[in-house]
Each structure stands twice: as C-alpha cells, then as structure tokens.
Amino acid sequence: MRTKLIILMLALSILLSACGASTTSGATTAVEGYITALATKDQAALISNSCADWEDDALIELDSFALVEVTVDGMSCAESGTDGDKTLVDCIGTLNMSYNGEPQSLDLADRTYEVIEQDGDWLVCGVR
C-alpha cells in the first residue's frame, strides 16, 4: 500500500511539473525580442537579437519607425518549421503605429522570421 502511494505521488509530481514547463523556444524569444526592440526603438536590443548578416537590414527597419509611435498588440510567436540551418518563426498580433494622429497597423502574420543559432544564441537573420 505504501509503495502504491509513493508511486502515485511521484506520478502526480511529474505531471504537475510538466504542466508548468515553458514551451517558448530560443528562436521565438529572439523574434519577440526583435519585434519589441523595433517597437521601443531600442537599437542595442535590436542588434543583440540580430545576426551579423542581418544587422544593416534591422537598422533600416528601425529607421523606418523613427517618426512614428509604435505599440505591440497581442504578439505571440511560434516555430513553424526549418529551412536548412534556419528555424522559421511565425507570429500573430499587430504593430500599431501613429504618425501625426493617423493610425496604421502592421499585421505580424505577414512575415516569417528566419532565425539561426550561433554560439548558443538565437538570432533573427532574415524575413520572408
């Protein structure tokens, strides 16, 4: 009887710990950090979430938001596949922008982000 109770308690603790496990990957975290850095106009964070080959493009994207107020709404990202050494990440949500009182929005679902892992760091390295 005592053995059954111990096994039951062990199984329950494993089940509860699995329920609390995070499903966010390094690739999705990098994309979410990249998008947040764009919205907050944080150049250092943008570069730290970009691979060296993508830095110039990332800075061009950042410059395009220079004169607008930007907020992120309902962002959620998930891995959608791979292409060679790249992990593909799709997001939902919007970037809401305002320029001189004119509201605009950019649907995050319109892009697929290409993410690579370099030296243990996940970095955005392109978009489709």
Q: For the chain, how many structural domains are there in total?
A: 1
Q: In sequence order, what are the residues at sequence separation of 6 or more whose Cβ sits closer than 8 angstroms to the Cβ of residue 68?
A: 97, 98, 99, 104
Indicate whether 17 belongs to any domain: no
Provide the CB-side half-sphere exposure for 3 (13 A, CA): 0
**Residue 72, beta-bridge partner list:** 95
Residue 119 lies in a domain: yes
**pLDDT at residue 25, rounded to an integer:** 87
Q: Are 115 and 122 in contact (CB under 8 A)?
A: yes
- ∠ Cα 98 114 29 (to 5°): 70
Give just the sign of the alpha carbon dihedral 38, 34, 124, 120.
positive
Let me know if residue 84 belongs to a domain. yes
At 80 the pLDDT is: 97
- Is the whole model's pTM more than 0.85, yes or no? no
Domain assignment of residue 122, yes or no: yes
In contact, 108 and 95? CB cutoff 8 Å:
yes
Whole-angstrom Cα distance, residue 115 to residue 94? 20
Residue 15 located in a structural domain: no
Q: Is the residue at 10 inside a domain? A: no
6-29 pLDDT, tens digit each: 343 333 344 333 443 344 689 999
Residue-level pLDDT at 92: 98
Is 97 part of a structural domain of the chain?
yes
**53 in a domain, yes or no?**
yes
> Which regions in the chain score pLDDT beneath 70?
1-24
Cα 118 from Cα 68, distance rounded (Å): 33
- What CATH number is attached to the domain comprising 62? 3.10.450.50
Domain with 107, as residue range(s), is 23-127
